[in-house]
Amino acid sequence: MNETAGGIDAPEETSGTVKKFMFVNRKAPYGTVYALEGLEVVLISAAFDQDVSMVFIDDGVYELVKGQNTKAIDVKNFSPIYRALEGYDIEKLYVDDESLKARGLTTERLLVPVEVLNSAQIGELMDQQDVVISF
Amino acid sequence: MLHIVNKSPFERNALESCLRFCRNGSAILLIEDGVYAVTRGNAAEPKVRQAMSHMKVYALRPDLEARGMYEAMIDGVTLVDYGGFVDLVAEHKAVQSWL
């Protein structure tokens, strides 16, 4: 079938490919700009209909803590965006159990439902990705 | 002397170094990501509690609030606002920031 009218003739196998993207979040919010920048890249990736997951390790678990109120430091509170991720079909949120425990946190203290995994499980997931992007 | 720590105890050893060098009677002020050190159940809590027995520990309230950690603060820490931060700097002869 050579009926393509337009000039763009992308090969079928690449145009429809969905890759597995994992975003690794390891920084606390506000102290540095990594957490917010990472979140913005995640939202961009969502626009490309990829298989996106986010994992929160080390101080990255602090990004998800409930009750953030940045009024007094005069910085945008971006924590509500994590609640909106579901609407962008980003539903795979993984949290490292050890990182939570070292910080005296439990999942009840977090903004969104997450899957708590141990380091071996997170390592295994990482291994299955096509692309891993770290913040 | 006033010691200021602005890094998370998990990310850098700033707090550890501060506690190693600061002398009895000093004041320690935790700001920015440093405030995670005075939240309940975090791994640095025992060290902070020990320091509190012979030093005054302060934390910047706006930074605790921003991080959703105001309610989780351990007892015995004195909260300050930005005005209190300035007062602490003015009250002490020297300030060491453990960047």
Read off the pLDDT of residues A54-112 as tens digits, 9 standing for 90 and up: 999 999 999 999 999 999 999 999 999 999 999 999 999 999 999 999 999 999 999 99
CA distances to B9, B22, B97 from B17, in Å: 10, 8, 11
CA-based nearest residue to B98, from B25, B42, B26: B26
Half-sphere exposure of A56 (CA within 13 A, CB side): 30
Selection from B31, B39, B22 nearest residue B92 by Cα: B22
Q: Which of B42, B67, B72 sits opposite A29 (nearest CB)?
A: B67
* Chain A residues near residue B71 by CB distance under 8 angstroms: 67
Give the minimum alpha-carbon distance from B50 to chain A in angstroms, rounded to a whole number: 18
Q: Where are the domains of chain A?
A: 18-134
Q: Which residue has the tokens 């995670």?
A: B36
CATH code, domain carrying B59: 3.40.1260.10
Domain count, chain B: 1
Between A69, A75, A102, which is nearest B10 by CB?
A102
Give the chain A residue nearest B38 (alpha carbons): A103
pLDDT in tens, A7-55: 455 455 556 789 999 999 999 999 999 999 999 999 998 889 899 999 9
Q: Is the dihedral of CA B70, B68, A134, A131 positive or negative?
A: positive
Host domain of residue B20:
2-98
Single out the residue of A5, A14, A35, A13 nearest to residue A23, CA to CA.
Answer: A35
Phi, psi of B79, deg, nearest 5: -85, 140
A69 neighbourhood in chain B, CB within 8 Å: 65-66, 68, 70
Q: What's this model's pTM, rounded to 2 decimal places?
A: 0.89
Q: State the DSSP code for A62.
A: G
Provide the chain A residues 8-37 that lie in CB contact (below 8 A) with chain B: 27-32
- B25 phi, psi to nearest 5 deg: 90, -5
Chain A contact present for B1, CB below 8 A: no
ipTM of the prediction: 0.89
Q: What is the CATH number of domain A18-134?
A: 3.40.1260.10
